[in-house]
Amino acid sequence: MEYICPQIEQLISCYTCGSQSLPPFQLCEAAHVNCPPCAKYMARCACGDVITDGPHVLLDWTVTALKFRCKHCGAADAGDDGRPANRWYAVHELHRHYRSECTRNAYPCPWAGCDYVARVETAADHYDAAHGPIDVLTPTDPDRWYEVQFAISPMPAEFVKKIFNGYFMFTVKYPSSHRRRNRDSNPCITMRNINPADQLQYTHDWELYTNGNVITVTVSMTTGLDDNS
């Protein structure tokens, strides 16, 4: 089993975000593999086709019979248990390894005042459990399934929204209290994705309405769009 086709990792990589995916699989109408987060939160695969409902038993059983390496370990690293990092794991072993054993995927919680250190695969679970409920935003225009728009207050704040696979921490601030008193002073809005397991790429933009009371924020997924334009 250790001498498998070298393209097997590519075969089971999520077509939408590129991350390693493990059974149970979700496929789009074009038979591209999509990882569980993409299948759950994305309306479509990166190819543009709808993600179908499973199960895909034959593919799941076939891949379960194979073994894979930890995606966080380089070839020259030593494993957590002293073995070489290129050791092979059965699928059920790899699930357990990522969630409780691997020491190369530590991720400190970015929430102010929280000193919890999660793992890459469990950071989102921690956000929901310790800092939830978190607003989940989805596209409202079927023709623009890769884009989410929402309105926020222009007041200084920091908040998190769940959009596609990402947990986005937004910060609204002004350059200084002096400049904020100036009616022409515009806020600065920054966004960062704090879900380390999300491999998708995004852009964001915002517009302050003339009355100054509402800011419209647009978050767009860019992964795969250039290939399908």
pLDDT digits (tens, 9 = 90+) for 33-63: 988 878 877 778 878 788 888 778 888 888 8
- What pLDDT is recorded for position 180? 46
Q: How far is 216 from 83, CA to CA, in rounded Å?
A: 52
- What pLDDT is recorded for position 226? 54
Cite the residue boundaries of each domain of the chain with CATH code 3.30.40.10: 8-103
- What pLDDT is recorded for position 176? 62
Q: Which residues lie across from 118 on neighbouring strands? A: 107
The residues, ordered by sequence, that sit 6+ positions from 57 with a Cβ below 8 Å of its Cβ are none
Write out residues in the chain with pLDDT < 50, as ranges.
1-3, 75-80, 178-180, 228-229
CB distance 21 to 35 below 8 Å? yes
Q: Where are the alpha helices (DSSP H) in 27-168?
A: 36-41, 57-64, 91-96, 123-131
The angle subtended at Cα 109 by Cα 104 and Cα 112, nearest 5°, is 155
- What pLDDT is recorded for position 5? 57
State which CATH number among 3.40.50.620, 3.30.40.10, 3.30.70.260, 3.65.10.10 fits the domain covering 8-103: 3.30.40.10
The residues, ordered by sequence, that sit 6+ positions from 121 with a Cβ below 8 Å of its Cβ are 98, 99, 105, 197
CB distance 54 to 66 below 8 Å? no
| Among candidate residues 172, 202, 197, 201, the one with its CA nearest the CA of residue 187 | 172
